[in-house]
Structure 1
Amino acid sequence: MGVVAALGLWAAGAADLPDDAFWRVVAATMVTAVGGSMELSGDAGALARTHAGVTVLPLSVTLTGALLVGAGFLWPCRHRAVAGAGQLARWAARIAVLWLAALVALAFAARQTFAVDLGDGVLGAIGELFGARPRVGFTTDVPLTAGFGLLWLLGVLAIALLVARGAPLPARLRRPQASARPVAYAMVVLLLAYVAVGLVVALVTAATRGHPAQTFALILLGLPNLTWLALTIGLGATWNGRVDGPFGLPAPHLLDEVLRTPDVSTLNLRTLAEHDHRVWWLVTVDAVLLLAAAFLAATRSPARLRLWEHAVRMAAALVLTVLLICLTGRISAHYGLSLLGIGDVGGGLSGELLLRPRLWSALGLAALWGLATGLLGALPARLVPRRHRGTGRT
């Protein structure tokens, strides 16, 4: 996680931050990637006021950590057919202790302050006259970071046990796991497939259109933020957002065009197609990948399941997946500085970045897509021969 975060921030230009702040920003990125709580602060003296806040998960770092932690948790158990609840709990507790120790260390390291350059305009002149030297910084809420980081770890371990074939679960948990594992596994494959497709597109874009540093920063920090957003938009979901000020969404430029408006904008297939009609291909990509996921889930499910049961399971899994995307894909960032009541006078000292889903409509559309693709994907799966038809093992 540290390597991915460091390379991504280096590609984004964070290595040029003053006061040797690069590694502290890397620590802050790792903390936020696992749900840690960051606090922004400002100190501009009695003559000035600062305000700032940020809520965003760098999902490339999050995904890397989830894959490595899940694999590390399952590796010592790979030769066991069955493990008791106590054994799994002790192994998870050992991982949790090491995890919390590392997370607390990162939380204490993720603290830094920076001086704000007021520029040569009106704000700069006023600041020099009154001796105001604003500073902004970030720090972490250690207890909240430890709590959210532990919940993140428990979630990753639970998903790893759920999707892994042959996970050494206690006997009473094996039947529920066998029932849920096919669609859970299919959803994980679906999310990874979207990241893989996005990676190919990003690399082609970097090779043909330039700006390789910006593209690699996106890949290493926020590629799932973009590709999983595209998944929901292809389903017909709508997001609301706004970009104001000198910063915006990293890529592609199309999102910045749609969201950089005076008011909160609507982000969906229709509004994106007004700028680039090629976004309608997202519907086709969704249909193909969802049908493939439904087929995969059906081939791994017990042969006795009826078509409508496949459809219901696919719908439930896709709703939970879209819910996860909507919760982790939200972005909220703002900052500002005012001096003697004057704010952002030619200095670019304020900005806002907002992205949030219309949750209930997104979940409803996910349910409809899940029912349809679950039914259609299960039809050809009935022709695939399966071993252990009574238990559903393949």
Structure 2
Amino acid sequence: MSRRIASERPVAAPAGRSVARHGWPRALAVVLGSLVAMVVVAALGLWAAGAADLPGGAFAPVVLATVATAVGGAVELSGDAGDLARTNAGLTVVPLSVTLVGALVVAGGFLRPLRHRAVAGAGELAGWAARIAVLWLLGLVGLALGARHTFAVDMGSGTLSDLTGLLDAAPKVGFTTAVPLTAARGLLWLAGILVLALLVSRGAPLPGRLLRFQVSVRPAAYAMVALVLAYVALALVAALVTMVTRGHVRETLAVILLGLPNLAWLALTLGLGVTWDGRVDGPFGLPVPRVLAEVLRTPDVSTLSLRTIAAHDGRWWWLAGLAAVLLLAAAFLMAARSPARIRPWRHALHLAVALALTLLTLCLAGRVSAHYGLSLLGIGDMGGNLSGELLLRPRLWSAVGLGALWGLLAGFLGASAARPVPRRGEVAARRP
């Protein structure tokens, strides 16, 4: 009898099998898969934007630089126009379409071998993440070393072109990627993605000491990820409809493959009342609806908010309605994935914190800063289109406060609406 009972006890999986599931070959597949996916998306997007025509074989380095910036890399622009001329340029923008693709591939690959597990040891999770991080670091170094190039700027024809030729001041523009800073930021990006993947996935195991946090953290994290992905999905549908009905196939495809989440999450923040400061000057253009470009193209820094947009076209108030509906849906989803014993006011607090952090992240990722200029003999813009500025920056602390307020309200309403919904794994008490 004792032998029979012992034989029915669950047997722990051998250590070798765990290592096989979390070994170096699988980690290499995760890293290579994510890098290849980002390179393909960036290359197609840049091709659609016309970057394949860049001189001097600059297309491949530009693709690598785009991938590097997508994971937080630092790309530095430089210029040279001889002794009598000066150039300056700067660029800060994250191609969030590339970022999103890489994040989804990394998260999926990280979680796949952890499926169908209730609990995982902290050492096991740390070892699996460390393998990915080591190979990811090598990939980041390779990206940074390949993302550098210098090419001449075509001045066209006219007086300015003649002067630059006469004075041997033909401008050259180049870019390099800072290896240490790119590696550090890329590792932080990876850590954030892996932690978020563990928080969002209901089936991913957690160390025993962290299990008590999954009730308060996981449903809220899942709801926020669902909210931001819903905005991207709606933006994708809108972009495809625009491409079919109005043409501009390559331009729209470039927006989809490079900056669709930038526009989608800008719409989310505007709908929730977040204010941005922005300016467009010179030949810079923004792949945004016409009314947004009108608000931003002013002599001075302008205020971009739902109120200023609606002043140009009152139909844009629908952004507030869309944000309210989708946020309430996210709050309902959060409550439905939580135990029934949690009271509405706790749901409100959880969503307030989660939404405040989400808006902070979206605002930081959505910032844009770009400028360039050429001065000859100390005179800038010699009758040509040689300078420009593109600026878009959020008012961060007001965004965090609005996120907390919206989260409190939506969390309470969503929890109240989800009360009758049966929870998975819970049995309702029978009335006598």
Query: What is residue 170 of structure 1 aligned with on the other side?
Result: 207
Q: Are 2:57 and 1:9 equivalent residues in the alignment? A: no
Matches within 5 A, 1:266-277: 266-277=303-314
Moved more, 188-197 or 76-85: 76-85
CA distance in structure 2 between the partners assigned to 1:115 and 1:387 by the alignment: 62
AA paired with 1:285? L
Name 2:142's counterpart in structure 1.
105
Q: How many positions carry a matched residue from both structures? A: 390
TM-score scaled by structure 1? 0.97
- Name the stretch that deviates more: 381-390 or 148-157: 381-390
1:213 counterpart = 2:250: yes
Gaps of 5+ in 2: 1-37, 428-432
**Aligned partners of 1:192 and 1:39: how far apart in 2?**
31
1:23 aligns with 2:54: no
- Aligned counterpart for 1:33 among listed residues 70, 86, 105: 70
1:340-379 to 2 correspondences below 5 Å = 340-379=377-416
Q: Give the stretch that moved more between structures: 67-76 or 340-349.
A: 340-349
Residue in 2 aligned with 1:238?
275
For 1:56-95, what aligned pairs fall within 5 Å after superposition?
A: 56-95=93-132
Q: Residue 280 of structure 1 corresponds to which residue in structure 2?
A: 317
CA contact (8 A) 2:82 2:168 kept: no
**Counterpart of 1:117?**
154
Shift of 1:314: 1.0
Query: In structure 2, the residue corresponding to 1:66 is in which secondary structure?
Result: helix
Query: Secondary structure of the equivalent of 1:19?
Result: helix
Name the counterpart of 2:34.
Answer: none
More moved, 123-132 vs 290-299? 123-132
1:19 and 1:128 map into 2 onto residues whose CA distance is: 19
1:248 aligns with 285
Which residue among 233, 250, 263 is the counterpart of 1:196? 233
Query: What is the SS of the residue equivalent to 2:113?
Result: helix
Contact 1:121 1:347 in 2 (8 A): no
1:383 aligns with 2:420: yes
Instruction: Indicate yes or no: 2:326 matched with 1:289.
Output: yes
Letter matched to residue 75 of structure 1? R
1:389 positional shift: 4.2
User: Are the aligned partners of 2:76 and 2:90 in contact in 1 as well (CA < 8 Å)?
Assistant: yes
Is the contact between residue 25 and residue 110 of structure 1 (CA under 8 Å) also seen in structure 2?
yes
Q: Is the 8 A contact 1:103 1:146 kept in 2?
A: yes
Q: Distance in 2 between matches of 1:112 and 1:68?
A: 28
Question: Could you tell me the TM-score, scaled by structure 2's length?
Answer: 0.88
Conserved 8 A contact 1:123-1:339: no
Question: What is the Cα-based RMSD across aligned positions, in Å?
Answer: 1.2
Aligned equivalent of 2:299? 262
Secondary structure in 1 aligned to 2:104?
A: helix
Deviations 1:319-372 (A, max 9, x none): 010000111110001011111112222321111000001112222221111111
Alpha-carbon distance in 1 for matches of 2:415, 2:336: 8
User: Is the contact between residue 48 and residue 337 of structure 1 (CA under 8 Å) also seen in structure 2?
Assistant: yes
> Following the alignment from structure 2 to structure 1, what is the Cα–Cα distance between the partners of residues 67 and 414?
38
Higher relative contact order (CA 8 A, sep 6+): 1
For the residues of structure 2 that align with 1:227 and 1:277, how far apart are their CA atoms?
19
Pick closer, same or farther for the CA change 1:342–1:120 going to 2, 3 Å: farther
Tell whether the 8 Å contact from 1:254 to 1:272 is kept in structure 2 after alignment: yes
Aligned counterpart, 2:7: none
Measured in 1, the distance between the counterparts of 2:226 and 2:335 equals 14
* Shift of residue 81, structure 1, vs aligned partner: 2.4
Distance across 1 between alignment mates of 2:49 and 2:291 = 19
Contact 1:119–1:347 (Cα < 8 Å) also in 2: no
Secondary structure at the counterpart of residue 118 of structure 1:
coil
Alignment partners' CA distance in 2, 1:179 and 1:97: 31
Separation (CA, whole Å) in 2 of partners of 1:87 and 1:244: 52
1:181 to 199, 208, 218: 218
Q: Is the 8 A contact 2:71 2:99 kept in 1?
A: yes
1:220-270 superposed Cα distances (whole Å, 9 cap, x missing partner): 101111110111111111100000111121222222111011000110111
Question: Counterpart in 2 of 1:223?
Answer: 260
Given the alignment, which residue of 63, 78, 86 partners 1:49? 86
In structure 2, C-alpha distance between the alignment counterparts of 1:24 and 1:179, rounded to whole Å? 44
Query: Partner residue of 2:185?
Result: 148
Partners of 1:37 and 1:253 in 2: how far apart? 31
Please say which of residues 138-147 and 247-256 is displaced more in the overlay.
247-256
